[in-house]
Amino acid sequence: MIKRFFFALFALVTVVSTAQTKNWGDNAADSIRCFENYNNFGQLCNSKEYLQAYEPWMIVYTACPQASEVIYKFAPKIFDAKITAEKDSAQKEAFILALMQMYDDWNTYYPGNEAKIIGQKANDYYDFHPEDAVTAYAMFNAALALNPGDVQPLYLNNYFNSVIALYKIDTLDSEGLLNAYGAVGEAIEIQTDDWNRQITTLTEKDTLGTISAREKRVLDINKRLLEQSTKLITNIERGLAPLLTCDRLGLIYNQENFDKHIGDAAWMRRAEKMLSKERVDTSGTSDCTDNAIYYQVAQSLYDLEPSAQAARSMGVLSVKNEKYDDAIIYFTNAIEQEADPIKKAKDYVRLAAIHLKTGSLSAAKSDCANAIRQNENSGEAYLMWANVYASAAGSCGSNVFEKNAVYWAAMDKANRAKSVDPSLAGRADRVIAKLRPGIPDKSISFQFGFKEGDRYSIGCWINETVTVRF
């Protein structure tokens, strides 16, 4: 009996000591009360009983708000359950205001993630008050101004919903709408750069079988987030399509506005991205870089912040002006500075196009291979590779069979393009249709000892083995 008494007393003293060390209240009674209710609401939340968790959570939040950040991490779900269950409109609004205050307290007691938390606050506010887009828009902008990379894709969706709402009532004009689209794009770009880097590294580990269980979860999460972000941007662009025409953009990105924003790197970045954005259709890709102001924007951006994107813009301009040596330097510079492997892959494809244009076919092949190393699902790289091989017809081999066997290699690359990127199937099939007439026919192949299904190794710089087929 005495042993049990001393054991219970020791446990009580331990709890009080630990609690007071971790800010569990100002006195022993508060510490024990907070500690007990902390455990209670934690267990309820782990069981997803968020409504029942409200009372013990509120005790902890009120009496010892600095006890643990867990208090704030569970709070949004607890408040959501409470607000959803509440029938009285006045009381419901009181809970919403309390939720907003909780976010402020979270940043006060646990600073360091202000942008993420303000973004979540703005998102919740807009969910509960979609009629008040003005307030939500201001909150979202505050988060984006602090750190756009911390504002999650889910929150960015509501941000743009609030922007559309303001545009519809003429609170925002077309330029404001496009600036908001630019802000969303910049936020997602920061995040996708990081996700793509991790996906590339972890996919390699997954292929080698050296990935850990935790890394596998991270890989799956990053892929899911990347997919969500892609869908978000696609949906926004679909809605903005009438404003994204080159004619409409020319009304906003013109000499007058350029002169107003000289020295404004943010405006230059958004103007450059809007004008250089690729639009894909059945004939290939196009952009608005023919806009007279694009050259000034690209040059100014490169002078203000010589980043990968700025170098890329100068590369695009150099190609348009047929300054191919300069373009190679700029795109190589962009690749060296770029962190995102997907963007690196696109730059390698641009280099391949230049080398193909100038007749440096071996270099063009190397560029395509480098693009695939950066992004194994780059259908554009495989299509470019097909064009490079097709251009080599007649240059490899000593007879008509050997010289035209490169068309089989080119067709293989075009087939690979639609395999890794089904959206390119139409373009790939058209390329294959153009290549097919060039392959050696049965009689010529037979003359040189080859029949259907045989394998042939192409020499030169191509160094590919193909299957003879007609």
Domain endpoint, select from 51, 80, 111: 111
Six-digit token string for 255: 């000499």
Is the pTM above the cut of 0.75? no
Which DSSP string corresponds to 378-439? -HHHHHHHHHHHHHTTTTSSSSHHHHHTHHHHHHHHHHHHHHH-GGGHHHHHHHHHHHGGGS
* Residue 328 in domain: no
* Rounded Cα gap, residues 12 and 91, in angstroms: 38
* Residue 164 in domain: no
Q: What are phi and psi of 284, to 5 degrees?
A: 130, -140
* Residue 43 in domain: yes
CB 287 within 8 A of CB 279: yes
146-193 pLDDT, tens digit each: 999 999 888 999 999 999 999 999 999 988 999 899 899 889 988 988
377-431 pLDDT, tens digit each: 999 999 999 999 999 999 988 899 999 999 999 999 999 999 999 999 999 999 9
* Residue 204 in domain: no
Which DSSP string corresponds to 213-243? HHHHHHHHHHHHHHHHHHHHHHHHHHHHGGG
* Residue 253 in domain: no
Binning pLDDT at 50, 70 and 90, where does residue 280 land? low
Domain endpoint, select from 76, 111, 146: 111
* Residue 100 in domain: yes
Helix (H) or strand (E) holding 252: helix 246-252
Query: For residue 204, what pLDDT is reported?
Result: 87
Structural domain including 398 reads: 377-470
Query: For residue 248, what pLDDT is reported?
Result: 87
Task: Give me the helix-helix angle, 341-357 and 379-391, nearest 10°.
Answer: 20
> How many other CB atoms are found less than 10 A from the CB of residue 269?
21
The proportion of the chain whose per-residue pLDDT surpasses 90, expressed as a percent, equals 70
Q: To the nearest 10°, the Cα dihedral for 353, 359, 360, 366?
A: 40
Domain endpoint, select from 43, 77, 111: 111
* Residue 449 in domain: yes
* Residue 55 in domain: yes
Number of domains within the chain: 2
